[in-house]
Amino acid sequence: MTDVAIMTEASESRQKALQEELKELLDLVGPAPLVDLLLERAFQLRATDIHLDPSKNGLRVRLRVDGMLHDILQLPAEMMNQVTSRVKLMAGMDITERRLAQDGHIANTAFKDHRDVRVGSGPTIHGERLVLRLMPDSKTYTHLEELGLEDEQATAIQRALRLPYGLVLSVGPVGSGKSTTMYSCLELLNKPGRSLVTIEDPVERRMDNVNQVQIEPRIDFGFVEALRGILRQDPDVVMVGEIRDPETAHIAIRAGLTGVRVLSTLHANDTAATIDVFRDFNIPPIFIADSVNCILSQRLVRKVCESSFQEYVPDVTDCAILGIDPSTADLVRLRRGVPSEANFHTGYLGRTGVFEVLMIDPELRAAILSGRGATEIREMAIRNGLQTLEHSAKKKVRTGLTTLEEMHRVLVVD
């Protein structure tokens, strides 16, 4: 039997155990305690999302653990409305409205772990779909050292954060850990003598001594309106949850030029591509060059389970991918996870970041001012020592922290 088959069979075994637990409770007490238990188990498994997807056969229940969705339970069709109504009631949503998308919030006081849950609903051809986003624990990933940064990368970010003004940006796709990185940066800047403000949608984790603002599009209070108001309130540091449009980008850039440290996130493939995104937003090159101090690009990879793994010697193909001299392959030990109860029978437990940190030095500022493209800027940065996402990922494979398969799943590797 192949490793994949073994992992799949073991994963199904664990899922069946949880399914039986939920089914037994459902037969005994009904949908309300079922939802409570599902939330409790999701927190215990460190899930980030719960998906309740309607189908012609009932309600499909899935958990996203370490970035991957796992089937947990298929509820019968007659229970579907009861379960969705229970969740919507907890989230303060209109249980009679099933035709339109809604947003809801289950307050942290509802759980012993004091964790927020954001709920989104929307219609499908088979009924109402719900996705529950489990907000991160505010006590975890508060320091840069916990995120997976190399020492020199963390040092570069700290240097950028010490600058009295300008932008520090984290870029990447949805779910790559950008907000978590910005919170860690904000924690470094959270000193008694500073005024710190965040503008978020939603507020993902609560921080002491930080003024956190929740935008509300329904009353036309978006990022632009919030940012304009906050810049009149004497801030030292402003964290903008996401730069989504040209107007927000222009205001954030101007803030960075006028003595405010600005932290934010952006959707871009890599660090150099961020420059082109700002150009697309019609930001003048001189403003980009003078305001942007540091750009981080990041992805999340699953970590090999530390309590259940096996080591192996890389073959010729592995050596070619990882840059290992085949003559020394016998001295290298890579790791792959072994499915067990400790890791939800996936062989992986937890995630870590792989990063690319670009400091905007005088040479790059000159390139931006002269209109050089993202490809040319990236090549220039690599010549000057930029550690790319691919390089960071390969290093984590060589040290046994993750696997080749996981690296290929997350990154396109040459």
* Residues 129, 276 within the same domain: no
What's residue 58's pLDDT? 92
Answer yes or no: is 196 within a domain. Answer: yes
What's residue 3's pLDDT? 43
Instruction: Give the alpha-carbon dihedral of 356, 175, 411, 313, to 10 degrees.
Output: 90
Answer yes or no: is 139 within a domain. Answer: no
* Residues 37, 65 within the same domain: yes
* Residues 116, 148 within the same domain: no
* Residues 156, 76 within the same domain: no
* Residues 393, 333 within the same domain: yes
The closest alpha carbon to 387, from 269, 298, 300, 303, belongs to 298
How confident is the model over 145-179, as pLDDT tens digits?
A: 889 999 999 999 999 999 999 999 999 998 899 99
pTM assigned to the model: 0.86
- The stretches in the chain having pLDDT less than 70 are 1-19, 26-29, 108-114, 138, 141-142, 413-414
* Residues 212, 320 within the same domain: yes
Query: Residue 49, Cβ neighbours under 10 Å: how many?
Result: 18
| The token pair that represents 399 in the structure block | 């040290």
CATH number at residue 37: 3.30.450.90
Query: Residues 6 or more apart from 336 whose CB is under 8 A from it?
Result: 3, 304, 309, 310, 312, 347, 403, 405
How confident is the model over 70-85, as pLDDT tens digits?
A: 888 888 888 899 999 9
Q: What are the backbone dihedrals phi and psi of residue 282, each rounded to the nearest 5 degrees, phi first?
A: 65, 35
* Residues 194, 125 within the same domain: no
* Residues 80, 179 within the same domain: no
* Residues 83, 209 within the same domain: no
* Residue numbers of the domain that contains 55: 3-134
Final residue belonging to a domain, choices 77, 105, 134: 134
* Residues 389, 351 within the same domain: yes
**Domain tally, the chain:** 2
Give the position of tokens 């075994």: 13
